[in-house]
Every structure is written in C-alpha cells, then in structure tokens.
A and B are shown apart, each in its own frame.
Chain A
Amino acid sequence: MTSVPERAEAVRLPIRGDGDLTAVRHQVRALARELGFGLVQQTKIVTAASELARNTLLHGGGGEVEVVRLEGPSGPGLRVSFTDSGPGIPDVERALQDGFSTANGLGMGLGGAKRLVQEFGIEQAPGGGARVTIASWAVSRPAGFGA
C-alpha cells in the first residue's frame, strides 16, 4: 500500500459550449462513483464542477478541465482543475463572496463550490487566465494529511 499521493491517468475535456458542461458532469460523476464516493459526496463534487465549468465558459471565455484520480494515505480522491485564458480573477476574496457577480448572476457559484469540496484553490493560469482547482476524498480524513 502506497502512502505517497500518486497521479493516475488524467482526463482532459474542452469547455467550449453548453454541451461540454454535461460531459464534465458525467466525467466527474463516473469517476467519483468508481472511487467509492457516497451519493452525497458525488452530488457535491459534481455540482461544484458544474458551477466551475460554467464559470470557465461564461467568465473565462472557454477553456479546459482536467479530471485526475488521486491516491491518498486513507483512500482515493478526485481532483478537478479548470483552466481558461480569460481575464483571470484578480480579487479572489471578492469573487468568493456570496452574491458578488460581474455577470448579473446569483454570485453563488464560486463560494458555493468552495463549500462543497474539501480542497479549493484559485491561481493564475500560465496564459494569464484563471485556474480553479477542487479536490475531495472518498473517505474523509483528518486535516493535516498531505494531499
């Protein structure tokens, strides 16, 4: 049994239109189910992924998603990373606030997605756009374990 987080094959999907959002949801659902996520955990990460994929499309002008299976010390996990080449998210704190939206949306997507997963990060993508990454684990682990 390995205790080193290890990356298996990654699945990359484009996010260019509405139809791609369905593909992202299916991909995340299938892997979460395969890794033994409970129904609530599956629904949470699929919903978070749906929010972030739509942001990639609407605010980032499209991009791609990478779905990766993780092996942690106490079980398998799932990491989903959304990258676009849009304007990026300069003020992360403000973007995460419930109700903040530059697009006349509800402004619940980003902050809500963060609440739905165990790990959440926003960084600048190499091209200057946004990269938002989420991860959850099939078995909830005590905080402090390395991801």
Chain B
Amino acid sequence: MTNPSSIPVLDLGGLLLVSIQGELPDDAAVALQEDVTNAVASTGSRGLIIDISALEMVDSFLARVLAEVAASSRLLAARTVLVGMRPAVAITLVELGLTLPGLDTARTVTEAAAGFGVSIARTGGREEWGA
C-alpha cells in the first residue's frame, strides 16, 4: 500500500495507530487525512489513535485536519482518540480559540487502547501489541 503522507499507519488488529513525527507540512497533513480515512475503511477498524506527542505546534490548519479525520472516521464507524498533546500546545490551542470539541483525548497510547479493550504491554522499552 502506498503511503504518500509517509506517516506509518499501524494496524493493531481492529485499532489503528498513527504517530505523527515532528513537523507536518500542509500537503503531508492533507495526504495523511486521506491515507488514514482509507485505512479505517479497508481495515474496518473501530478505533483510531493519533499520537501527536512529537508535535511542537498545532495551528488552525492542522487542528482542522485532525478534526476532519475524526469526523470522517466517525462516519465510517470508528472513534478517534488524540494522544500526547504537549502542554504548551494545549495552552496555545485554547488561546487560539480551538478546543477541538469533537475529539476524544487520552494521556497515553496505552490508555487510549485500553479504552477500546486492547491492552498494550511495555517490555524493555519496546511496546508490544496484543488484543
């Protein structure tokens, strides 16, 4: 499967995990939106976890992309959980006026996965996935 956004979409068996790495240019964000929505459909996932812990900044463009990913996933019967937002990003988004009301959040990937009934064990710094 080609992945034009070059952001890996990991299938954990009924649950998709997307970890956004560092900087996300506009065109990559739009490509990500398409890739992720297609992946939700093709895998029939019930859940989508988006890990943004590596993002140093979320502006209104990216916030809108995230909200639209969640909205289109919901239409495909998958729930989106946003994970790992940095405190400075949260403060900035609120001041910007973007509180992302349609997005569920969790502190960690493990916590988000647990919300979908998937348990993740951390062993020796490596995360292992299992339903």
Contacts and interface: CB of A to CB of B under 8 A. Distances in A.
Interface centre among B59, B61, B64 (most CB of A within 10 A): B59
B26 A116 contact: no
Nearest to B28: A18
A76 interface: no
Interface stretch (B5-13, B37-45, B84-92): B84-92
Contacts of A50: 57, 59, 61
A12 interface: no
Interface size class, chain B? 20 to 34
A57 to B, nearest CB: 9
Contacts of A51: 59-60, 96
Contacts of B92: 40, 43-44, 47, 116
B56 A43 contact: yes
Given A43-B57, A50-B57, A54-B59, A18 B25 contact: yes
Interface stretch (A3-11, A21-29, A85-93, A127-135): A21-29
A106 B56 contact: no
A80 B58 CA distance: 19
Contacts of A119: none
Contacts of A19: 25
Interface centre among A22, A54, A112 (most CB of B within 10 A): A112
A46 B57 contact: yes
Given A22-B23, A22-B25, A98-B97, A54 B88 contact: no
Contacts of B131: none
Given A22-B25, A40-B88, A112 B56 contact: no
Given A47-B59, A51-B60, A108 B26 contact: no
Given A19-B25, A21-B25, A115-B97, A108 B91 contact: no
8 contacts: A18-B27, A19-B25, A39-B88, A40-B92, A43-B91, A54-B61, A112-B97, A115-B96
CB-CB nearest 9 A-B residue pairs: A112-B96, A43-B88, A50-B59, A18-B26, A40-B88, A39-B88, A43-B92, A108-B60, A47-B92
Interface of B: 23, 25-27, 56-61, 64, 86-89, 91-92, 95-98
Interface of A: 18-19, 21-22, 25, 29, 39-40, 42-44, 46-47, 50-51, 54, 98, 105-106, 108-109, 111-113, 115-116
